[in-house]
Structure 1
Amino acid sequence: MSEDVEVRTTVGAALAGCLVAVAFSAILGFQTFLYFQIFPGDRLRYKFLVGWIWILDAVHTIAVCASVWSYSITHFGNSDFTTQIVPTLAVTVASTAVTTLSVNIFYAWRIHKMSKANWWLTGPILLLAISRVGLAFVTTTEMILTKNFPAFAAGFNRVLTSALSVSAATDIIVSAARYYYLRNLKHGYSGTQEVVDAVVVFTINDGALTCAIAIATIIFLLHMPHNFIWLGFYFNIAKLFSNSVLATLNLRNWYRHRQRPMGIAMMRPQVLAAHTISSNPPATPSKRTAEEQRVQVFVNQEVDYNISVGGFGAEEDGRSAKSVGEI
Structure 2
Amino acid sequence: MELILSAAPMASSTQDLTPHLHLANTFGAILIGVIIAAVLFGVTNIQAFIYFRTHSGTGITFYKLVVIWLWILDALHLVLIVHCIYFYLVINYGNVVALTEIVWSGKLQSVVAVSSIFVEHLLYLHRIWTVSKGRSRALPITVGIAIVLTSGPATAVIWCMYQFVHSISDLVRIQWALYMYLGTVAFVDIYIASSLCYLLATSRTGFSRTDLFITKLMNYVIDTGCLTSMCSMIAIITCAVMPKNYIFEAVEFLLLKLYVNSYLALLNVQYYVQPNADKSGFRHGVYHPKLHVNASQTRELRASRKSMFEHPDGEVMHITRPVQAVMPQRPMEVTMQMNSLPSV
Contact 2:25 2:247 in 1 (8 A): yes
Residues 1:62 and 2:69 aligned together: no
Give the structure 1 partner of residue 191 of structure 2.
Answer: 173
Amino acid at match of 1:31: Q
Q: Name the SS of the counterpart of 1:235 in structure 2.
A: helix
Matched with 2:172 is: 153
Cα drift, residue 76 of structure 1: 2.4
Tell me if the contact between 1:112 and 1:118 (Cα under 8 Å) persists in the aligned partners: no
Which residue of 149, 159, 163 maps to 1:131?
149
Check conservation: 1:50, 1:246, Cα contact below 8 A.
Answer: yes
Aligned counterparts of 1:61 and 1:309: Cα–Cα separation in 2 = 36
Distance in 2, matches of 1:27 and 1:257, equals 23
1:213 Cα deviation after fit = 0.5
Letter of the 2:19 partner, please give it.
E
3-state SS in 2 of match to 1:325: coil
User: Which amino acid counterpart does residue 127 of structure 2 have in structure 1?
Assistant: R
Residue 309 of structure 1, CA deviation: 7.6
Count of residue correspondences? 279
Post-superposition offset of 1:118: 4.1
Q: Which residue of 2 aligns with 1:77?
A: 94
- Cα deviation, 1:141-193, whole Å, max 9, x if unaligned, reads 33233322333432x22112211111000000011111112222235242323
The code of the aligned residue for 2:34 comes to C
**1:194–1:6: structure 2 CA closer, same or farther, 3 Å change rule?**
same
Bigger fraction of residues in strand: 1
Which residues in structure 2 correspond to 1:1-327 (within 5 Å)?
A: 3=19, 6-42=22-58, 44-116=61-133, 118-145=136-163, 146-154=165-173, 156-254=174-272, 255=274, 258=277, 312-313=312-313, 324-325=341-342, 327=344
Aligned partners of 1:135 and 1:233: how far apart in 2?
19
Root mean square deviation of aligned Cα: 3.2
**1-side partners of 2:99 and 2:243: how far apart?**
12
In the TM superposition, residue 119 of structure 1 has moved relative to its aligned partner by 4.0
Task: Check whether the contact 1:109–1:311 (CA below 8 A) recurs between aligned residues.
Answer: no
CA distance in 2, matches of 1:38, 1:58: 22
Relative to structure 1, is the Cα distance of residues 5 and 194 closer, same or farther in structure 2, using a 3 angstrom cutoff? Answer: farther
Give the stretch that moved more between structures: 26-35 or 228-237.
Answer: 26-35
- Distance in structure 2 (CA, Å) of the matches to 1:324 and 1:85: 46
Mark the runs of 5 or more structure 1 residues left unpaired by the alignment. Answer: 260-300, 316-320
Deviation at residue 65 of structure 1 after TM alignment:
0.7
Give the Cα separation in 2 of the matches to 1:247 and 1:225.
33
- Kept after mapping to 1: 8 A contact 2:129/2:137: yes
Deviates more, 1:206-215 or 1:28-37: 28-37
| Displacement after TM superposition at 1:245 (Å) | 1.4
Aligned to 2:320: none
Bigger mean CA deviation after superposition, 207-216 or 98-107 = 98-107
Q: Once the two structures are superposed, what CA deviation does each residue of 1:204-228 show, in whole Å capped at 9, x if it has no partner?
A: 1111111111001011112222211
Greater radius of gyration (CA): 1
- Kindly state the Cα deviation for residue 322 of structure 1 after the two structures are TM-superposed: 9.8
Larger mean CA deviation between 40-49 and 250-259 belongs to 250-259
